[in-house]
Each structure stands twice: as C-alpha cells, then as structure tokens.
Amino acid sequence: PDMIMQSEKSCTKAMVELYEETGNNIIAVQECAPAETHKYGIVGRGEDTHHGFRITEMVEKPKAGTAPSNLYINGRYILQPEIFKILEGQEKGAGNEIQLTDAMLKLEKQQPFYGYHYRGRTFDCGSPEGFVEANVAFALWRSDMNENMAGVIRTLLDEMKPSERRGAAS
C-alpha cells in the first residue's frame, strides 16, 4: 500500500510481538467512521489477547449497516506460508485481479487470524495531496527541522493571495 504510518511504537514491531504471542496470521487494523466501512475490508473483533485480538470474520467492502465493526484492514500483514499455495490457485476477483482478502478468507477456515489495533497516524501517499501532507507532517515532527519548516509554511501562506489558497497554483 501507499501508506506511511507514524506512531510512538512501530506498527510492524507490535505485529511481530503479537505473532510471537500467537504464532498465527496477523492483520493490522484501524478504526474508520461507521459510514465509511463500505470502502474497506472490515474485521469482526473477538477475544482479546495481550497484544491484540482474535479476528472472528473478514468482510470485503460490506454493504452499509452490515459491517461487523468499524475496524478496517490497513494493508499490513504477517501471514503463514500457506497463503502462497492458496494464491497460486486463486481465481480473479474484484477488479479482475487476484484478491489477497479472498485468499485470507480461505486460509481463515484453516488457521486463526489475529488483529493488531493500530492507533497511530496514517498517511495515504497514493495521492499527491497525501504525499505532501505526509512530508510536511514528518518534517514538522522532526526536532531538527520543525521550527524552520513551520516558518517556511507560514511565509508561504502569508505570501499567497487569499484566492490562491483555495485554487491550484499557476
């Protein structure tokens, strides 16, 4: 995925800890607004473990009002090797592409899946706006850059005419 994640604790490190605890498939999930669950793969939340929770179901882009939770799959996985055998025989699904979610649904019938509830910040760098937002945010979070970058941003905003702030630069 074109996602950059920022939090005090690395999402990957937390997922590895959960894997070491359970020895099973791990999926990182995040909360979304209930009205947006139709846009994502959503998981059902079961019994809690020390570092995560048991996933009870996975639903790819559920219809409005039918999602088992508001926890969406954010594109970070630790999967058992058996997933590759399933993917080899996988038929094309949504978008005429082989879908990892379809393969995970098959694997879920054979092996447990656990979720790590990631609570940090995520930036979608698949769009120009998201890419710029991520770069500005990370520059502002860096102690060796934040004062200078904040000043640069203020100067750029002050130099812009009010009409330019909403429209594209020419």
> Is residue 169 situated within a structural domain?
no
Model pTM score: 0.79
Query: How do residues 66-75 score in pLDDT, each as one tens digit?
Result: 999 999 999 9
Asked if residue 74 is part of any domain, the answer here is: yes
Phi, psi of 35 (to 5 degrees): -70, -10
Do residues 143 and 71 both lie within one domain? Answer: no
Same domain? 111 vs 83: yes
Residues 94 and 134 grouped into a single domain: no
Mark whether 70 and 28 lie in a shared domain. Answer: yes
Say yes or no to pLDDT of 1 above 80: no
Residue 36 and residue 103 in one domain: yes
For residues 98 and 55, membership in a common domain is answered with: yes
Q: Report how far residue 53's alpha carbon sits from residue 49's, in angstroms, rounded to the nearest whole number.
A: 5
Number of domains making up the chain: 2
Which tokens sit at 82?
């058996």
Say whether both 66 and 139 belong to one domain: no
68 and 24 in a common domain: yes
pLDDT of residue 70: 96
- Whether 70 and 138 map to the same domain: the answer is no
CB 108 within 8 A of CB 58: yes
pLDDT digits 0-9 by tens, 78-137 = 999 999 999 999 988 777 888 898 899 999 999 999 999 999 999 988 889 989 999 999
Range of the domain at 133: 128-164
Strands 41-48 vs 53-60: parallel, antiparallel or unpaired: antiparallel
CATH code for position 87 = 3.90.550.10
Evaluate whether residue 170 is within a structural domain.
no
Question: 156 in a domain, yes or no?
Answer: yes
State the Cα–Cα distance between residues 71 and 73, nearest whole angstrom: 7
Would you call 137 exposed, middle or buried from its count of C-beta atoms within 10 A (0-12, 13-18, 19+)?
A: middle
Counting residues of the chain whose pLDDT is more than 90, the rounded percentage is 69
> Are residue 77 and residue 133 in the same domain, yes or no?
no
Note the pLDDT of residue 168. Answer: 53
